[in-house]
Structure 1
Amino acid sequence: MGVLSRAAAEVVGAEAVSRAGIWGRLAAVPDHRSARGRIYPLPVLAAVWLCAVTAAGHDRIAAVTEWLAATTRAERVRLRLPWNPWNGHLLPDEATIRRFLDKVDDQALAAALLDPPLTDMPADLADADTLTATSPPGAPDAKGGAAVPGEAVPVRAYALDGKTSRGAKRPDGTRVHLLGIASHGAGALLGQREIDAKSNETTEFRALLAPLDLTGAFVSFDALHTVRSNLDWLVVRKNAHYLAVAKHNQPKLRAFLAALPWEQIPTADLTRDHGHGRDETRTLKVATVAHLDFPHAAQAIRIGRWRRQKGRAASRETVYAITDATAEQASPALLADLARGQWHIEVKQHYVRDVTFGEDASTSRTGRGPAALALFRSTVADTLRAAGHRSIPAGRRAHKTATAALDLHGFP
């Protein structure tokens, strides 16, 4: 029976029409499992995980098997589950589903899930992954030509940040830490790498960004990544711009920036926000710097933040940053947007995975499980936003059935 089941699975795969879509991308993920006893093709298990995680309340392995058991015959055909004449469609058990997470190549899975652009995006979200800035005289447009003064120029911007999966621990007791990059605005995840216990985020900086086309784009990150060699590589090798925060891990740089005559420099951008019981005022000042002993630095930035939240005392914070972009390439308004955009990866990736998907409570600890689960969660959130859902929990509740999830992710 086992031989017939495997043979039937091969026939189903052979007869399926190959499309340049989700099945084709998942088929490119290498399968490192032993061929002996293998019944379920790797793309099938990946599709099961992606669609099950889409449905609200199915964030654990046991819930995935329950979701799978509730599928109809037509849905199992679309999932390409193996079939035999005696038992019908075969359903993977918890052990099989768990082994997939442990063994899957998370980098290949990221390429399959995250690289393709999201299509059919609503008009009001079509430009959500870009910033717009009013071009100063002589500023280049997106194609390198001269932009019309005052014209809105789209700017690609990405935020890089790390996140610890608090519930996931390795055999040595260390927690799983993931470094990701997401677009400003839409907050869509572009790539992710797990940080080895003997490594850190800084050493994975280039590996994460190397596969991406960053020509002309801005990359923002926190002070941990303000490292000379990485900034030089980003500008020279990737032809990108950076917005780098300077804190006490770069004491000389921060001291230099703090000593600039900021009181004599006029405020270049002022924004005020009010909502959720909180008032916030942000002021930004910019100074052109020459001969700063840091790779390609062209402008120094000081951001002052004043916050007052209901029931709490008002607080002030001053942040210093540098960028290689000149005043002609990045106006103060754009720099202010870039500084605020760094939080998009926190709000639209990390917060959603923790609160909506319960990532910090997940105890998946072995192999590539935590990294693979993070990819599935991010893919679901990004796809739901692209489909027009403002609320990820509501979007998941709207896709509880396998048919709805299969349609959402483009499975034929």
Structure 2
Amino acid sequence: MPVGALSRAAAGVVAAGGVLREEIWDRLARVPDPRSPRGRVYPLPCLLAVWLCALTAAGHDAACAVGQWVARASPAELTRLRLPFDPFTGRHRIPDEATLRRLLARMDRDALAAALLGDTVVAPDGGGYPRRWRSTGRPAVAHGGPTDPRYIYWEWQPTGTGLLAGQIEVEAKSNETAAFQPLLAGLDLAGVTVTFDAMHTVRANLDWLVTVKNAHYVAVVKANQPLLHARLARLPWADIQTAALTRDHGHGRDETRTLKVATVGFLDFPHAVQAMRIIRWQRMTGHRPSRETVYLIIDHPAETASPADLAAHARRHWHVENKVHYVRDVSFGEDASTLRTGNIPTNLATPRSTVINRLHRAGYRFIPPGRRDHTTPTAALNLHGFP
């Protein structure tokens, strides 16, 4: 039995099956090495394994912390990381912070995403998309990533897993709207309802989804569409019956969501036949209560999308924000990261998302306790399936 299985966390993962598998090394070996062969000391998969496992451990979010993490590993753990052994010193060679940082700056971001996100990743051209998810999933698309450059993420969500399926980089905030169609062009979206942030609620995108992709949409409307937003705000919401009322309480937060839906025929926006208003009232311990009103437009007629269906679509969209963007910002300190050289922002986002995916699959509802359960190299290696 692996040493890591003696811990409660590692035992749970081992019991799930398929932890000690060679596949992870095969994936990492497919990433092109950007370094010159001359003077190369550390194999590329070894360094990627160090990054992935170190970022799994709580408190190791910077390159210097990653270097400290690997320096504390035991000889057995360094062997599992496949770091080169120096016969003259009788010790494994350990990469320093500069080596780790330079590699991430030059790494091919698409190849790294394909290797680490594994069976949940999908390329913008549709390659490698899991067939079992294609027919049953509900995709939720959201822009995110507070670092520069920016990213767009999408999540194929068959069971509300919160797993990140892929990402595409956008060099400037103003270009995110233009990336919408290339991002989704390769996906089979026939009959699927797509949700996205207000930035992507533009006529061309909505018309393209319905007429070209045969998809449906639930689109958030904010001030970037002032005329449409004003029309929605002027609807007689006071005379419309509440369709859904939900209350949540936990972690020092009380939240109430009130949802109303109206059939409309004069919004002058492609294929929009329903409008939805969601009022979210929230009170957190130590903070003043807040109230937010969100408007959405939908191409589903009332006969094919009930208020309960529309409420579920809205929750799935916010699920992406809460399970991916918020977690990376708060748990991994992505907002505060000062690593901006080359491809580092993108290539840090990928292993962070991989850690989130693996912890969710291991049964963790919340990421911080999952990271605290995997602070040792053995526990992290077991989580990601390194033999």
Name the counterpart of 1:208: 183
Give the number of the structure whose alpha-carbon radius of gyration is greater.
1
Matches within 5 A, 1:161-176: 161-165=143-147, 175-176=148-149
Q: Secondary structure at the match of 2:326?
A: helix
Counterpart among 60, 77, 93 of residue 96 in structure 2: 93
Contact 2:146 2:334 in 1 (8 A): no
Distance 2:219 2:84 in 1: 51
Name the counterpart of 1:181: 154
Distance 1:155 1:117 in 2: 12
TM-score by length of 2: 0.80
Q: How many angstroms does 1:198 deviate by?
A: 7.4
Distance 2:163 2:95 in 1: 31
Which amino acid in structure 2 is aligned with residue 180 of structure 1? Y
Contact 2:150 2:173 in 1 (8 A): no
> Do the aligned partners of residues 400 and 317 (structure 1) sit closer, same or farther apart at CA in structure 2, a change above 3 Å counting?
closer
Name the counterpart of 2:206: 231
Counterpart among 104, 108, 113 of residue 105 in structure 1: 108
Counterpart among 283, 286, 307 of residue 332 in structure 1: 307
Distance 1:199 1:310 in 2: 36
The reply to whether residue 74 of structure 1 matches residue 76 of structure 2 is yes
Name the counterpart of 2:23: 21
TM-score by length of 1: 0.76
Contact 2:142 2:321 in 1 (8 A): no
Name the counterpart of 1:122: none
Q: How many angstroms does 1:27 deviate by?
A: 2.3
Name the counterpart of 1:135: none
Gaps of 5+ in 2: 1-20, 122-132
Q: How many angstroms does 1:367 deviate by?
A: 0.6
Which amino acid in structure 2 is aligned with residue 349 of structure 1? V
Gaps of 5+ in 1: 1-18, 119-129, 131-141, 144-153, 166-174
Distance 2:297 2:199 in 1: 14
Name the counterpart of 1:156: 138
Distance 1:70 1:45 in 2: 15
> Do the aligned partners of residues 78 and 347 (structure 1) sit closer, same or farther apart at CA in structure 2, a change above 3 Å counting?
same
Q: Secondary structure at the match of 1:364?
A: coil
Counterpart among 358, 361, 372 of residue 336 in structure 2: 361
Contact 1:157 1:338 in 2 (8 A): no
Contact 1:353 1:377 in 2 (8 A): yes
CA offsets per residue over residues 93-115 of structure 1, 9 Å max, x none?
A: 22221111100111221222224
Distance 1:211 1:42 in 2: 30
Aligned residues: 353
Name the counterpart of 2:261: 286
> Do the aligned partners of residues 207 and 42 (structure 1) sit closer, same or farther apart at CA in structure 2, a change above 3 Å counting?
farther
> Do the aligned partners of residues 57 and 211 (structure 1) sit closer, same or farther apart at CA in structure 2, a change above 3 Å counting?
farther
CA offsets per residue over residues 302-339 of structure 1, 9 Å max, x none?
A: 22334456677765443221122233432211211222
Q: How many angstroms does 1:379 deviate by?
A: 1.3
Distance 1:222 1:42 in 2: 37
Distance 1:191 1:302 in 2: 30
Matches within 5 A, 1:7-406: 21-87=23-89, 88-117=91-120, 156-165=138-147, 175-182=148-155, 185-197=160-172, 199-275=174-250, 278-290=253-265, 292-307=267-282, 316-406=291-381
RMSD: 2.9
> Do the aligned partners of residues 238 and 349 (structure 1) sit closer, same or farther apart at CA in structure 2, a change above 3 Å counting?
same
Percent identity between the two aligned chains: 61
Q: Secondary structure at the match of 2:53?
A: helix
Which amino acid in structure 1 is aligned with residue 59 of structure 2? G
Q: How many angstroms does 1:20 deviate by?
A: 7.1
Q: How many angstroms does 1:370 deviate by?
A: 1.5
